[in-house]
Structure formats: C-alpha cells, structure tokens
C-alpha cells in the first residue's frame, strides 16, 4: 500500500516531537507499506521568519518572501529524515523544487499545476521513506513559490493524487473534525465521517482543521482523507464523497468566524449597474466580500450591506468612500464587533425547515440576526460578536450534536 | 565594471547590518557598476542549525546536513534582496541551485566543478543586483551540497572567474590582512598587498581571513581579491600575483595555530615501507598529518614525530596503537600542549638565512623548538603552547613588521 501522510507544524515543533513522528512513520513502514511524508515548518518558524522580514521592510517583494519562507520546511524535512534514519530505516528529504511540484508564479499564494513523480518514484523504488517539504513549489522560471497558509495540506493531497496513493492521512493536534470548536462547546463530538462538501464549508467557515483548497482537490479526484491526531493512535475523521447509502446527519457541525466586519450603505440608487460598480471596485482592490444583502427602502432607493474580513475593513471603507457619490448613497456605517455563526450539513438540502429551526433557536434566546446567507448545505448568520459563543452552544444543543455519554 | 562582493556572516548578523550592506551595494550600483553579491548565513545561524541537528542525532547523514545548512544562506539572500529593493534599486536573490553552481557530490565538503552563468547574466542584463547564496551548490542528482566552512569565499571567487568580473571584494569584520593577529600583537600592521602564495600559507597557518580554497582558485585564474571591512570604507588588502617589479618584504607576516597536537614514536624499524604503512593508515582514517620528522637513532631504529589537529588526536592515537607492533615501535608519546608559529614571505626564497634568523630569535629568548618545517615561502616551528604569544611578538619585532607610528 502507498500511504501519504502529512504532519503539521505542531507535530514537528521540537526534537522530541520529530522523533515521535519518526517512530510512527517507521512503524507504518514496518507493516510493509511505502510512505511519502509531507511536513510543515516547525512550530512557530514561519512566524519567526515573518518577524525577521518585518525588521527589514513592511512591503516585502513576494518572490523574496517565498525564498525565505520555504526554508522553514527545508529545515523540518532534513531533521525528520535524520530522525527516521536514526531508527534504522532509509529516508530521504526532498524540497518542492526537487520533487517538481510545479506551480503558477503567483508568489505567496501559488496554485499547483502539476506534480512530477520521477524523483519520488525513484526514491520509493530505492526503498526510501520520502520526506517532502509542504507548502512550497517551483514555477517555470525555476523560482521557489509557496502555496499560502495551510498549503501543506494541499501538497499532501496533490502528492496522493499524482502517486495514486491508497491512503492520505492528515495528522494534526486534534483528534479529527468536531461538531463544533471544543474550546467553545465542551460537548462537541468528533465526527467519524464528513463529506467533502461539508468539510469544504466547515473549512471556509473557520473550522481550520483542513485547508479549503486541499478539500477541493481531494473532492475533485475522490481521494479520501483521514484527519487524525499525531499524539495518539485513535481513529480520526474520514473525509469522503457523499454516500447516499449512509444515514447522513441533517446538521453535521456548527462553525463560527470572528474575522468578520460589516459595512452598510443607505439609500443607494435603485438602478442597474449600481451593485456591479460597488462590488467591482472592491474586487479590483482585492477585497473579498462574503455576504451581501440588498433591501428596497422608499423612493427607489436601496440599503446594501456586506461583510468582509476585519483585516480588509479599513481598505474597504476607503474604496467605498470614494464611490459614494457615484452610487448615490446618503450614508455609510461599519461594525467590526460582529461574528458569523453557521450550521453545515449535507442533509440540509433534503430537509426543509432546518434554516428556520436555526433562526428560531437563536431568536428564542434573544440573539438578533443582522444578516443571513444560505447555500444548499449551510446557513450562516451574522450576529453581535459577544453572542457568538452562546450561539454556538445553543445551535450545538438544538441539533443534538453533543457526544454520547455513558450516563 | 562588473564587481563581485562577498559579505561574511558577521556583516549580515542582524537587520541593521543587512541595511548597511544594502546601502553600500546600492552605492556601488549608483556609480554605474553591475554587481553580484555573495552572502553567508547571518551571524550564528549555522551553529544554531548544527545544534538543532545534535538534538536529533550525533551522526547526521551528510546529504541531510547540507539540506538543512543551506537554509541559512537562503534566509540571508532574501533579506538582503528585500533591503536593497527597499532603497529603490532592483535586486533578486538566487540559491546555489538556481545559479547552477555545479559541484561534485561530496556532501558537506563539495568542490565546485562549474558555475553556470545563464541565469546570472539574464538577471544582470535585466538591471538587477544579483544576490547569491554562498557556501552552497548542487550536484548532478539535483541534490543540495555545501562547500565546507568558509565556502562562501570560494563561491565569490568562482563567480568572479565564471563571469570574468573586473573586481572581487571580500568584505569581513577586519580591515584586511595583518602582519600578525592584532589581538596578540598590538603593533600588527595591515598589509596593502599580499601575494597569492603568501596568502595561501597564511590562510593554512591559521590567519583565517580568507578560506584557503578561495585563494587557490583566485591564484589559478589570476583574479585579484580585495579583502576589506564592511564596517568602514578604508582600502583593505589586495591579494594578487607575485610582481617582481615590486619590492617584496622578506617576511610578510607571522601566523600561529593552536589546534596542533604532536605524536612521537620511538625505535621504529629502519626499513623501507614503514613510513608508508604508518601514514597510509592515518590517511585511510581521514587524519590530516601536517609536519613529519624522522631521525635516526641507534641499532637501525628511527624516531618518528608528526603533528595533526587536536580534534584528530584521539583517533590518531588509536590508529597508531593498532599498528605499533607492525612498525616495531617501542613506545609512543603525545602532547597537545603545543602550538605552531610560522613566518611567511615570498621574499624568503631569495634571502637565505631567514629561517636561521627565526631560530636564533626564538633561542635567544629561551624558546625551545620541538619540530621545524620549511617551504620556499614559510618556516614553521612547533613550540610549547604557553610560549606561542611571546614567540609571535618576538618574531613580529625581529622582522620589523610593526606598523609605522608618527612618533
């Protein structure tokens, strides 16, 4: 069997943890499997490098940023290869360049175009455990690129796809995917199975166990993922295709996102092209808009509200300020004391009334909904930030997501 | 004019120093020159990485060692490129792999076979200051190699050779090459000119301003080197070919080496093949022997003494112990409280009696010579370690090397 395993930064944060990963990998090997291991940078290495850069410049060229950030994984792959060899098992480390993880040239957020397999196969055939640097690739000018935060997950799935691996395991510091963030909802239950589209929504909604792009890629090539802890041998969560033969939970999990800011515009002209003008200007300034609500008022005027990330709020306000006269708005407000809470579940599409249950449960507890957005498998509400934690607990309870107890 | 500059680890040890190097480089550029800059790892980075490795294993695989060590320069080139761009001058960093610094596969001590110039020339033609990672290269299997301690000097000279540079400047934390170590001899004078062969002897004798291999390479291709300080704009020392038109100092400098141990063997058989057997065994165990003395005693027996580095003493003793019966030695002694002091000068070859002057000066002051070794341009003596400092001062004085004072 060919297994691809990915270990995150917390799993290789120090020498002792690296040795633990080495023993685990060597153990899988002793069962006769071939293994490719993808590793992130150790612990806080990436942040340390970013701080070093900040001492030099506030606007680092992205190509040079990739040059420096990619060293983090290069250190961890070499150390892990050494630790595995120390257990008596042959191992070799490879950078993204050496593997041939070909990407576009969008430095700091590159996308993988192709994974070459010659070197990987040669080293596997030679009996090596192959340790690959996550998060990094190389463009056609032979320049080092990085895939953005969480990119090591994507590296692992891309390698599993290219090598037609039998199994892709994502090791992290939690036991798997939970029905809610266990730090907020102590009764959150570990899910045995999550479908790709649910995982994708959860990942995008702030349940940051897996990087959304890695889930997309796994879904596209139907590669099942096993999300599990590197600190124990418990089974984790399998992320896989929707299987209609299985009983699906109506609601699989509850997620929240605090990195939300809301902007409201009053009395915008009600005529074609106004929304286009507004959101085109925001897009041109690389501001990602999440939820949008438009409501008719009086006198052929509309109110338009939208959300973006808090990091982008300042930039968004200045973009909107500039086009305020053009779109005829009489005023503007903003609020970054809001949060987004969401319920996610592949069963929602065939169970009408789930969204209504959510609204009802929150209303009963006096939580005001400022904005609402729905898709086939999720419903999100923007509420006051201070209510987010309570909302999660209410919804977790309402949809019976708590783990079963022996009592 | 095309200039190659090399900055050592102490010149780029922190953000402030990196900015200073950036300003200096941008200044040279503003005079209309093309520049390739070779950089070492920041300050103690290499030692920090080695300590990280020691937490994992005491016998790291050399290929993985190169994988991890090469990250040090990758960080410093990216930071320097950022700092230069911050001054408004275009710059790009390149790893050894990206340049195409092709080496053999002797990991941790690789030798450069070829420097490809396509990428370098392309970036220079595009108007970039090109920042190259020192100390590293790539072998024909596309694996990262390193050139050994001090290898960045060799990188700089190799780039100067390949690009047919007009000037190769080696920036360091001292003002140039001195007649003696200024920490020992306060009157040591900076030399304006040193010949390659003198520099080679000085470098090999412990005056560690330049890496010996870089001097060899510069000599082979007649590339003049300018060794100078990155902390001021003083002219440093020019290292160049012997020029018979110039008055050469008989003795150019005085050097010392404390990393010396001596082994003595008594009553070795006086027959052919004995010395071969002894020194072949040591070579097979990768022990570098420096000085060798053989003296006939009585009964067709010889005494043989030799020196090696202190790091190798333990290994050398066990190698010799093993073949002691074979070579017929009656006993063995060792001493690591010795030092080597040397005088170096291209003028010695045409000035008989210089070595005798050295012996006389030391004898007058009661310093006992335990071993002597001479070449055309240097004479070395092994003495008691405790006398080394005094010996340097005596010889510096004897050969009138002190800097001229105004008084």
Model confidence over B274-319: pLDDT tens digits? 888 889 899 888 888 888 888 776 667 888 889 999 989 999 999 9
> Using one digit for the tens of pLDDT, what is the confidence trace for B26-41?
999 999 999 999 999 9
Q: What integer pLDDT is reported at residue B406 of this predicted model?
A: 45
Chain B contact for A78 (CB, 8 A cutoff): yes
Of B372 and B203, more confident:
B372
Q: Would you call A67 and B74 a contact, using CB atoms and an 8 Å cutoff?
A: yes
**Residue of chain A whose Cα is closest to the Cα of B98:** A142
Q: Which residues in A lie closer than 8 A to residue B78 (C-beta atoms)?
A: 64-65, 67-68
Chain CA centroid to CA A280, Å: 26
Residues A172-188, mean pLDDT to the nearest whole number = 88
> Using one digit for the tens of pLDDT, what is the confidence trace for B167-192?
999 998 889 999 988 888 889 999 99
Closest-CA distance, A122 to chain B, in angstroms, reads 12
Question: E-assigned strands of A313-366?
Answer: 331-344
Distance CA B283, CA B205 (A): 20
From the list A63, A64, A82, which residue is nearest B53 (CB)?
A82
Report residue A116's pLDDT band, with 50, 70 and 90 as the boundaries. Answer: very high
Q: What integer pLDDT is reported at residue A207 of this predicted model?
A: 62
Laid out side by side, the sheet with B371-374 consists of B289-296, B301-308, B253-269, B331-344, B378-384, B371-374
Q: Which residues in B lie closer than 8 A to residue A18 (C-beta atoms)?
A: 56
From A1-5, A366-370, B272-276, B359-363, the region with the lowest mean pLDDT: B272-276
Chain B contact for A83 (CB, 8 A cutoff): yes
SS3 A333: strand
Query: In the predicted model, is pLDDT for residue B351 greater than 90?
Result: no
Q: Which residues in B lie closer than 8 A to residue A14 (C-beta atoms)?
A: 55
Distance CA A286, CA B111 (A): 48
* Beta-carbon contacts of residue A314 (< 8 Å; ≥ 6 apart): none
Chain A contact for B20 (CB, 8 A cutoff): no
Predicted ipTM beyond 0.90: no
Q: What integer pLDDT is reported at residue A125 of this predicted model?
A: 97
Distance CA A75, CA A15 (A): 12
Q: What integer pLDDT is reported at residue A39 of this predicted model?
A: 97
Q: What integer pLDDT is reported at residue A246 of this predicted model?
A: 57
Q: What integer pLDDT is reported at residue A244 of this predicted model?
A: 64
Query: In the predicted model, is pLDDT for residue A407 greater than 70?
Result: no
Q: Would you call B68 and A53 a contact, using CB atoms and an 8 Å cutoff?
A: no
Closest-CA distance, B102 to chain A, in angstroms, reads 15
Q: What integer pLDDT is reported at residue B385 of this predicted model?
A: 94
Instruction: Identify from A46, A58, A82 which residue to disrupt to test chain B contact, counting B C-beta atoms within 10 A and taking the largest count.
Output: A82
Query: In the predicted model, is pLDDT for residue A208 greater than 70?
Result: no
Most confident of A392-396, B91-95, B244-248, B398-402: B91-95
Mean pLDDT, rounded, of chain B? 90
Query: In the predicted model, is pLDDT for residue A398 greater than 70?
Result: yes
> Using one digit for the tens of pLDDT, what is the confidence trace for A296-305?
766 678 888 8
SS3 A212: helix
> Using one digit for the tens of pLDDT, what is the confidence trace for A247-295?
566 888 999 999 899 999 988 888 778 888 889 899 888 888 888 887 7
Q: Would you call B70 and A74 a contact, using CB atoms and an 8 Å cutoff?
A: yes
Query: In the predicted model, is pLDDT for residue B272 greater than 80?
Result: no
Chain A contact for B97 (CB, 8 A cutoff): yes
Q: What integer pLDDT is reported at residue A406 of this predicted model?
A: 45
Q: How many CA atoms lie within 13 A of B365 on its CB side?
A: 19
Instruction: Identify from B67, B91, B93 which residue to disrupt to test chain A contact, counting A C-beta atoms within 10 A and taking the largest count.
Output: B67
Q: How many CA atoms lie within 13 A of B87 on its CB side?
A: 22
Scan residues 99-128 of A and list those with Cβ closer than 8 Å to B: 119
* Cα–Cα separations (whole angstroms), residue B208 to A204, A342, B199, B310: 56, 65, 10, 17
Closest by Cα among A283, A380, A297 to A338: A380
Query: Cβ distance B341 to B399 under 8 Å?
Result: no
Report residue B140's pLDDT band, with 50, 70 and 90 as the boundaries. Answer: very high
Q: What integer pLDDT is reported at residue A405 of this predicted model?
A: 56
Query: In the predicted model, is pLDDT for residue B86 greater than 80?
Result: yes
What value does the CA radius of gyration of chain B take, rounded to a whole number of Å?
A: 23
Query: In the predicted model, is pLDDT for residue B108 greater than 80?
Result: yes
Query: In the predicted model, is pLDDT for residue B208 greater than 70?
Result: no
Q: Which residues in B lie closer than 8 A to residue A133 (C-beta atoms)?
A: none
From A61-65, A183-187, A382-386, B400-404, the region with the lowest mean pLDDT: B400-404
Q: How many CA atoms lie within 13 A of B324 on its CB side?
A: 16
Q: What integer pLDDT is reported at residue B245 of this predicted model?
A: 56
Q: Would you say how long chain A is, in residues? A: 407
Q: What integer pLDDT is reported at residue A5 of this predicted model?
A: 98
Q: How many CA atoms lie within 13 A of A167 on its CB side?
A: 16
Distance CA B384, CA B391 (A): 10
Closest by Cα among A91, A115, A130, A63 to B95: A63
Q: How many CA atoms lie within 13 A of B95 on its CB side?
A: 28
């Amino acid at each position: 069997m060919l297994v691809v395993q990915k270990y995150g930064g917390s799993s290789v944060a120090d020498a002792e943890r690296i040795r633990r990963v080495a023993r685990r990998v060597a153990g899988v090997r002793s069962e006769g499997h071939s293994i490719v291991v993808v590793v992130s940078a150790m612990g806080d290495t990436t942040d340390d490098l970013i701080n070093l850069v900040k001492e030099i410049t506030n606007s680092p060229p992205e190509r040079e940023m990739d040059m420096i950030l990619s060293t983090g994984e290069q250190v961890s792959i070499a150390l892990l290869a050494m630790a595995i060899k120390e257990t008596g098992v042959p191992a070799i480390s490879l950078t993204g360049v050496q593997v041939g993880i070909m990407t576009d040239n969008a430095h700091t957020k590159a996308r993988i175009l192709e994974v070459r397999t010659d070197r990987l196969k040669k080293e596997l055939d030679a009996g090596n455990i192959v340790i690959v640097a996550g998060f990094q690739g190389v463009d056609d000018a032979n320049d080092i690129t990085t895939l953005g935060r969480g990119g090591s997950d994507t590296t692992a799935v891309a390698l599993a796809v290219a090598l037609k691996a039998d199994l892709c395991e994502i090791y992290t510091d939690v036991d798997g995917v939970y029905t809610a963030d266990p730090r907020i909802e102590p009764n959150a239950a570990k899910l045995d199975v999550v479908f790709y589209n649910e995982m994708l929504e959860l990942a995008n909604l702030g349940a940051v166990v897996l990087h959304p792009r890695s889930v997309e890629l796994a879904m596209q090539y139907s590669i099942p993922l096993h999300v599990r802890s590197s600190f124990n041998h418990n089974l984790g969560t399998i992320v896989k295709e929707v299987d209609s033969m299985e009983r699906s939970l109506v609601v699989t999990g509850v997620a929240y996102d605090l990195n939300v800011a809301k902007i409201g515009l009053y009395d915008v002209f009600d005529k074609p092209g106004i929304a286009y003008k507004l959101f085109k200007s925001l897009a041109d300034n690389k501001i990602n808009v999440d939820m949008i609500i438009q409501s008719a008022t009086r006198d052929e005027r509309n109110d338009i509200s939208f959300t973006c990330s808090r990091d982008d709020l300042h930039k968004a306000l200045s973009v909107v300020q500039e086009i305020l006269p053009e779109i005829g708005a009489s005023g503007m407000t903003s609020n970054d004391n809001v949060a987004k809470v969401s319920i996610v579940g592949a069963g929602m599409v065939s169970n009408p009334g789930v969204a209504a249950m959510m609204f009802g449960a929150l209303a009963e507890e006096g939580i005001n909904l400022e904005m609402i957005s729905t898709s086939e498998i999720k419903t999100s509400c923007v509420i006051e930030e201070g209510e987010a934690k309570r909302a999660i607990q209410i919804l977790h309870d309402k949809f019976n997501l708590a783990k079963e107890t022996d009592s």
